[in-house]
Amino acid sequence: MPLPNKEQNQPSSSPSPSASKKGKLYIVGIGPGSVEQLTVHAKNVILNADYILGNDTYLDQIESLITTQNVYRSSMGQEVDRAKEAVKMAENHVAVMVSGGDANVYGMAGIVIEVAERNHLDVDIEVVPGVTAMLAGASVLGAPIVTDAATISLSDLLTPWEVIEKRLDLASQADFIISLYNPKSRQRTSNFERAIEIIKRHKPAHVPVGLVKNALRGDEQEFIVTTLGDVLNYNDWVDMRTAIIICNSDSRIWKSPHGDKIITPRGYQKKYEY
């Protein structure tokens, strides 16, 4: 039996400026959108980079950390070119590819590593995790997850819609808590409604649903707590900056002193008194 690899995938200590002589590529999850939510390691990596690559939205979110680093901006939809540029830069420089939330959750980790693999490049790559939208949204809503959950992106740009439908169908049949990403874009306005109709086939109408827009982005944050039966009343409110958490049949709305939030009991009530 092969021995487990202890060396790879261990986070390095944060780089010092002198590390810039040696090439390395960091793929950094920058969290939900405010610098306070970055991990300490992510922040240090960004501060010590030679080059930072990203789209306008992500670069704007970390603007206060950009001083002497060179910046390579590209637009949304140009992820492949950006990934190619990043692996090239990392031959001789410390390059940081920023990705919103976590880079493994519909983020840049995949395409960057695929490009490096396909071109047989010997690049030192480290993926730095970040707080993903599902967890940022959950923190705003109270305790809506706490047990088994599935994340499903409603973007059919890279995944065929039939596959998305199947995942929605089976995840709701199994009563997973479902976190929806990419509910809408300018071109795709009906996917959210279609997804809810599929989930309604299996989950009861009383299941709580949390909609969180701009989670953990300061004053821009807004949220709505509703139910699966009523969520389409808020269809127009949902946009591409919204994370959605559709709970399970045990979840309930928590009448908190600060408004309605959500609790999903994990099962302690069956074993303990409190």
272 contacts: CB under 8 Å, gap ≥ 6: none
Q: Nearer Cβ to ligand SAH, position 87 or 133? A: 133
101 touches ligand SAH (CB under 6 A): yes
Count of chain residues binding ligand SAH (CB under 6 A) = 25
Largest CA distance in the chain: 60
Nearer to ligand SAH, 110 or 265 (CB): 110
Distance of CA 187 to the CA centre of its chain: 21
Q: Which is nearer to ligand SAH, 20 or 133 (CB)?
A: 133
* Options 10-18, 59-67, 96-104, 117-125: segment touching ligand SAH (CB under 6 A): 96-104
CA distance 75 to 56: 7
- Please report which residue ranges of the chain form alpha helices under DSSP H: 40-47, 56-61, 79-89, 109-118, 133-141, 161-173, 191-200, 268-271
| CA 54 – CA 107 distance, rounded (Å) | 11
Least distance from C-beta 134 to ligand SAH, angstroms? 7
- Chain positions 160 to 219 lying near ligand SAH, rule: CB under 6 A, are 181-183, 212, 214-217
158 near ligand SAH, judged by CB under 6 A: no
Chain positions 230 to 249 lying near ligand SAH, rule: CB under 6 A, are 240-243
Least distance (Å) from ligand SAH to the CB of residue 31? Answer: 8
CA distance 101 to 106: 9
Report, in Å, the least distance between residue 130 CB and ligand SAH: 7
Q: Which is nearer to ligand SAH, 55 or 69 (CB)?
A: 55
**Dist. CA 111–CA 199, nearest whole Å:** 30
Helices (H), 75-221: 79-89, 109-118, 133-141, 161-173, 191-200
Nearer to ligand SAH, 205 or 240 (CB): 240
Handedness of CA 103, 106, 109, 111 (dihedral sign): negative
Q: Which of 23, 107, 129, 142 binds ligand SAH (CB under 6 A)?
A: 107
Between residue 32 and residue 61, which ones bind ligand SAH under the rule CB under 6 A? 32-33
Nearer to ligand SAH by C-beta: 206 or 241? 241
Of 181, 147, 189, the C-alpha closest to 164 is 181
Question: CB neighbours (10 Å) of residue 57?
Answer: 13
Nearest partner of 265 among 257, 252, 184, 133, judged by Cα: 252
Q: Regarding beta strands 208-213 and 94-99, do their DSSP bridges make them parallel or antiparallel, or are they unpaired?
A: unpaired
For ligand SAH, give the closer residue by CB, 176 or 181: 181
- Residue closer to ligand SAH by CB (options 46, 216) is 216
133-152: which residues touch ligand SAH (CB under 6 A)?
A: 133, 136-137
User: Given candidates 105, 141, 238, 245, which one binds ligand SAH under the rule CB under 6 A?
Assistant: 105
**Residues contributing to the site for ligand SAH (CB under 6 A):** 32-33, 99-102, 105-107, 132-133, 136-137, 181-183, 212, 214-217, 240-243
